[in-house]
Structure 1
Amino acid sequence: MGYVADRWHKSRPKLGDPECGEHKGLVASKAHGKGKRWQARYDDPNGNEVTSLWRTKTEAEAEIVKQESAKQTGSWLDPKAGRVTVKQFAYDTWLPSLNIIGRTQTEYEGVLRRYVVPEWGNREIRSIKPSEAGAWQKLLVTKYKLKGTYPNRVSRYVRGIFRLAVIDRVIHVSPFERIPAPTADERATQPPDVAEVRQLIAAAYDDRWKAMIELNALTGLRSGEIRGLRLDRIDFLRRTMLVNQQLVYEKGDGLYFDELKTGAGLRTLPLSQRAVDLLAAYVHKYPPREGGPGEGLVFVMADGGLIGESTLDYALKSTCKKAKAPKRHWHELRHHYASVLIAGGENPKVVQKRLGHKDVMTTLRTYAHLFAEAEEQTRDVLDAAWAEPGETGSTEESPRQGGRIPESRRSQGVLKQVSG
């Protein structure tokens, strides 16, 4: 249990000490008349003494009762902890707590440097109000001109700082608690269809780009993953591919091999026979080099050097121009792969696993419109299952027996018969 100390007077006066001229029966200390008189003292949950100063003894006693009660209920916070600045907590506590690779940390540090430190860097973390949190999110668009999904992403990073502060008992509640995050303004992806991908493959001016375009459409690899693909990651017998590294570029370090951004990115992909045949033919014609920076890689430059992201993007843009096709980014071949899986009836969890997304919500956000387009297939399946023999939309056999699923036009015919 804590106790209250009188700073202005000695608790153990020596014999012969003069009596305080202001307070009868007490002996003045060196602190007499300086600052607040009463000091509340108590131990925190870890046994460390915590002190605070108060004007009256009643206030000090009330503080002790309050803190002892908070300790009992598990809601205790160190009154001094919230005085840490937003910048100090973000750099010294939040960043070290994240299980991230170097490039991601560089990205997070850039967010702090550009959007957080200029606004709140020297503010005590406990001083940020919900109204200020909402206003800061608006600044991301109005002041910093962020667009698309970026305001939402930056906000999620900063929300994580305050969420950790709550978990660490630095603040009671995050100022973002009831403030909605910026809307992730994602444009619906319109990936190339199979016909367009075939058109790009035919127009590619080099065997390397032909193979990479087709393989990416068949596997959905990220740019860094296909550029860092090694032959020993491919099991031709089992028709699988291990995706466990990527080729990345970082200013000052150049191109280098790195682990994947998240644990979900580490995956084993099932390969179609077309993908296996494509890879087998390519490595037979262009065996991986021994030695040098491109040792063991399936795809390298003509001189054996590593393929940079900008080089691959330029190759695709040139191919699109030659094919007289819409301008495409390399990532859109990954979207093509996802769209084929979705159209084929794969559920979101499987699509997430194949793409290496961290969670299924990322998959749903990105491809929600494609899943919506698959709703017609659900209607056809149900209509076929429940159709009576002889009804429009029925089949000789049920879907479970291997019969074909009727088209949506036939289901519309059933509706017309019923309404008629």
Structure 2
Amino acid sequence: MGYVADRWHKTRPGPDEPECGQHKGMVASASHGRGKRWQARYDDPNGKEVTSLWATKVEAEREITKQEGAKQSGSWLDPKAGKVTVERFALDTWLPAQSIIGRSETEYLGVLRRYLFPEWGHREIRSIKPSEAGAWQKLLTTKYKLKGTYPHRVARYVRGVFRLAVIDRVIPVSPFEKIPAPAVDESTVQPPDIAEVRQLMEAAYHDRWRTMIEVTALTGLRSGEVRGLRLARVDFLRRTMLVDQQLVYEKKKGMYFDELKTGAGLRTLPLNRRVVNLLAAYVERHPVPRDGLGAGLIFTMPAGRLIGESTFDYALKSTCKRAGVKARHWHELRHHYASVLIAGGENPKVVQRRLGHKDVMTTLRTYSHLFAEAEEKTRDVLDAAWADPAESGAGTEFSAASGRVPESRGRSGAVSQLRA
């Protein structure tokens, strides 16, 4: 239990020491008249003594009662912990606590240094108010001119700093607690359809790019994943592909193979017969290198050199120009893969796993309009199944045995393309 100490007077004065001139019956200490008189003392939950100074004895006793009650309820906070600056807590506590790979740590650190530290880095973390938190989020678009999904991502990192401060009992509540996060302003993805993908394949100026376009469209691999695809990761017998690494570039380090950003990215993809045959034929035409940096990779440049992302992007842009279609990014072929799965009736959770998204909300947010089209297909199926033959005619009958829906009523454009 805590207690209150009188700083201005000695608790065990000597027999010959003079009485305090201001307080009868007491002996002045060396601190008499300097600073606040009453000191509240108590042990924190770990047994370490905590002290604070107060002007009156009643205030000191009230502080002890408050802190002892907080210890009993489990809500105790170290009064001095909140004095740490935002920058020190973010760098020394929050960043090391993130389960991320080196490249992600570089990204997180860049966000903190560009958008958080210039505004609040020198401030005590306990001093940030909710009104300031809301104003800071607005600065992301007004001062820093961030667009698309980036304001939401930056705010997510910074809100995480304060959330951890609450969990670590550095502050009682986050200033962002009742401040809505920036809206995710994502543009609707419009992936190429199968006809356009075939145009790109025909226009590709090298067998390497033609095959990589088709493989990406049939697997949804990210750029680094397809460039870092090893032959050993493809099981031609079981028709599966293990996605467990990617080829990345980092300033001062160059290109190297790295693990995937999240555990969800680690996945085993089921392959259709078309892509299995495609890969087998390509490897027969272009045997994989046995040594060097490109050893074991299915796709490499001449002499087994690694394929850089800029080279990869240039190849697709040149192919788009040759095909007479609008410029595309490799990621849009990944979107194509997702759109085919959705059009075919795959549920969001399956699509999430195939793409390696961290959570299903990312999938729903990115492809919500495509799922809406799939819902419309469901309505068409039900309409066709329950159509009155007398009103609809024989051409709209639904066969329960075959599950076949008439082309004119029950198939969306995407599904019709799949049959092509």
TM-score category (smaller protein): over 0.9
Number of equivalences: 409
Residue of structure 1 equivalent to 2:123: 123
Percent of counterpart pairs with the same letter?
77
Structure 1 position 405, deviation (Å):
2.4
Matches within 5 A, 1:135-150: 135-150=135-150
Matches within 5 A, 1:249-260: 249-260=249-260
Task: Summarize deviations over 1:64-121 as a string: whole Å, max 9, x none.
Answer: 1111111111111111111110000000000010100000000000001100110000
Give me the whole-angstrom Cα distance separating, in 1, the residues matched to 2:386 and 2:195: 35
1:320 lines up with 2:288 in the alignment: no
Task: Summarize deviations over 1:11-34 as a string: whole Å, max 9, x none.
Answer: 111221211111111111111111
Matches within 5 A, 1:1-400: 1-387=1-387, 390=390, 392=392, 395=397, 397-398=399-400
SS of alignment partner, residue 237 of structure 2: coil
Residue of structure 1 equivalent to 2:417: none
Structure 1 position 158, deviation (Å):
0.2
Question: Do the aligned partners of residues 410 and 309 (structure 1) sit closer, same or farther apart at CA in structure 2, a change above 3 Å counting?
Answer: closer
Give me the whole-angstrom Cα distance separating, in 1, the residues matched to 2:272 and 2:55: 77
TM-score relative to the length of structure 1: 0.95
Structure 1 position 387, deviation (Å):
4.3
Give me the whole-angstrom Cα distance separating, in 2, the residues matched to 1:408 and 1:78: 70
RMSD: 1.5
Give me the whole-angstrom Cα distance separating, in 2, the residues matched to 1:386 and 1:46: 70
Structure 1 position 270, deviation (Å):
0.4
Give me the whole-angstrom Cα distance separating, in 2, the residues matched to 1:306 and 1:347: 36
Structure 1 position 181, deviation (Å):
1.0
Give me the whole-angstrom Cα distance separating, in 1, the residues matched to 2:117 and 2:38: 37
- Does the 8 Å contact 2:4/2:41 carry over to 1? yes
Give me the whole-angstrom Cα distance separating, in 1, the residues matched to 2:63 and 2:95: 34
After the TM superposition, which of the residue ranges 385-394 and 356-365 deviates more from structure 2? 385-394
- Does the 8 Å contact 2:385/2:398 carry over to 1? no
Task: Summarize deviations over 1:111-160 as a string: whole Å, max 9, x none.
Answer: 01100110000100010001100110111111111111100100000000
Give me the whole-angstrom Cα distance separating, in 2, the residues matched to 1:35 and 1:105: 46
Question: Do the aligned partners of residues 171 and 410 (structure 1) sit closer, same or farther apart at CA in structure 2, a change above 3 Å counting?
Answer: closer
SS of alignment partner, residue 213 of structure 1: helix
Task: Summarize deviations over 1:41-78 as a string: whole Å, max 9, x none.
Answer: 11111111111000000000000111111111111111
Give me the whole-angstrom Cα distance separating, in 1, the residues matched to 2:375 and 2:279: 35
SS of alignment partner, residue 392 of structure 2: coil
Task: Summarize deviations over 1:332-361 as a string: whole Å, max 9, x none.
Answer: 000000000001110000000000000000
Letter of the 2:323 partner, please give it. Answer: A
SS of alignment partner, residue 291 of structure 1: coil
Letter of the 1:210 partner, please give it. Answer: R
SS of alignment partner, residue 189 of structure 2: coil
Give me the whole-angstrom Cα distance separating, in 2, the residues matched to 1:60 and 1:244: 59
Give me the whole-angstrom Cα distance separating, in 2, the residues matched to 1:213 and 1:113: 38
Gaps of 5+ in 2: 412-420
Task: Summarize deviations over 1:226-247 as a string: whole Å, max 9, x none.
Answer: 0000000000000000000000
